[in-house]
Amino acid sequence: MGSPIKPYQIAVPDSTLETLQKKFSLTTFPGETAFSNDWKYGTPVDDIRRIVKYWQEKYDWRKAEAELNKFPQFTTIVSVDGHEDSLGIHFVHQKGERPDSIPLLFCHGWAGSFLEVTKILPLLTSSDNDEKQTFHVVAPSLPNCGFSQRTSKPGFGVLQYAEVCHKLMLQLGYDKYVTQGGDWGFLITRAMGILYPSHVLASHLNFVLTLPPSPFSTPLLVLQYLTGRLTPAEKAGLERTQQFADKGSGYSHIHKSRPHTLGFALADSPVGLLAWIYEKLRDWTDDYSWTDEEVLTWVSIYLFSEAGPDASIRLYYEIENAPAPASGQMSGKMESFMKYNAIPLGLSYFPRDVVVLPSSWGRTLGPVAFERRHEEGGHFAAYEKPELLVDDLRKTVQNAEISLSRAG
């Protein structure tokens, strides 16, 4: 028998908000230079000064908290083999309006949260057209994120995150389900398809990572690349990917090498946390018009998280340093999740994502039921382009011929 499912409401203590105001009064900003606001050097000083002033004087967390609490939220306890006997997991769970709704797990990444599901939730759970599939949506705060608990032992990697998500679906009575993921959600849902293939009916991905083409395993892809037989959009995607690798990926090297060192700054300084995340919100999206209100609510999920903002980056270290697997077991290394798997796939490519690979590379992941290259959108597609993402997800399920009878 599974652990009980308990209703949950976000309630940040008044004392935490009072401490935040005290920290604002003690903030020390970087010294001004002629290039303090040049994005090439990182987050501009003037942007952070403006947002912090708004945070201190106008932003109302209680208002944001009340809006978030309109979504049906719950907690439950999940055990993780060899790691956690009782890990508290927070999640949003909204059932579809139609009786033929299909269970769907929405899996966020970094620097996202369950907040990303809020715009697509009404689109997925209701429909004014009988031909548009509806879903029972489950969107957990991943362990170490949001209002889920902190893990207590080293080695809690992607395989363990996948176990948490799968067990959560089972505890909710969903034996078979569809998954959707980007960023870490790509790796976690890929792991779920490999570990639990009889349960995962299909997987939609808006972030696509693959092994590089090899002259031994994929010679045609190597030839395609070397001869430039790519579409203009695919060439632009590879340029974007290289740009990110050269100029935008430094954060991940810190996360995966010495996460605890950066963790002190993220845990202690709200302004430092803001600057660290704001850079990604701006650089990883496609000219999305972030309001200061949106940015601060996004950052507050990390600031007020159950585990603390430092815990969220530790997964980078765990996947980089995953131990060699025992005989017959799956490796927790990143390349393990990029091998071919028979779960039907939907692949959505957005031009301002941080990695945008050719479509032919994505097809090496498994049988592709649906794919689309969009002309706009970035890393946080569910939040930036909710209608596009939902349409792609529905087409994936339709093309893969997933129905309630199969999900039941």
Cis peptide leading into residue 111 (ω within 30°): yes
379 is catalytic: yes
Q: Name the class of domain 67-246+316-407.
A: alpha beta
405: pLDDT confidence band, cut at 50, 70 and 90? low
Q: In what order do the strands lie in the sheet with 368-373?
A: 6-7, 73-80, 84-94, 135-140, 102-107, 177-181, 200-205, 345-349, 368-373
Task: For residue range 40-91, list pLDDT tens digits in order.
Answer: 999 999 999 999 999 999 999 999 999 999 999 999 999 999 899 899 999 9
Whether pLDDT at 340 is above 60: yes
CB atoms < 10 A from the CB of 318, how many?
Answer: 21
Work out the pLDDT band at 406, boundaries 50, 70, 90: low
**Contact, 103 vs 180, CB < 8 A?**
no
Q: What is the DSSP string of 269-297?
A: -HHHHHHHHHHHHHHSSSS----HHHHHH
Phi, psi of 370 (to 5 degrees): -160, 140
Catalytic, out of 199, 255, 374, 379: 379
DSSP code at position 58: T
- Choose between 393 and 127: higher pLDDT: 393
pTM: 0.95
Task: Pick the more confident residue, 32 or 108.
Answer: 108
pLDDT digits (tens, 9 = 90+) for 198-219: 999 999 999 999 988 877 778 8
Q: At what angle do helices 270-283 and 45-57 cross, to 10 degrees?
A: 120
- CA pair distance 41, 368, nearest whole angstrom: 40
Ordered by start, the domain boundaries in the chain are 67-246+316-407
CA–CA distance, 377 with 319 (Å, rounded to integer): 27
| Least confident interval from 183-187, 227-231, 390-394 | 227-231
Q: CA-to-CA distance for 283 and 260, rounded, in angstroms?
A: 24
Q: Which of 183, 286, 353, 392 is catalytic?
A: 183
Pairing of strands 102-107, 135-140: parallel
Percent of the chain clearing pLDDT 70 (strictly above): 99
Find the catalytic residue in 177, 316, 349, 383.
Answer: 316
Looking from the CA of 204 toward its CB, the CA atoms found within 13 Å total 26
> Is 317 assigned a catalytic role?
no
Distances (CA, A) of 198 to 49, 81, 262, 402: 51, 20, 40, 13
> Does 316 participate in catalysis according to the annotation?
yes
Residue 408 has pLDDT above 70, yes or no: no
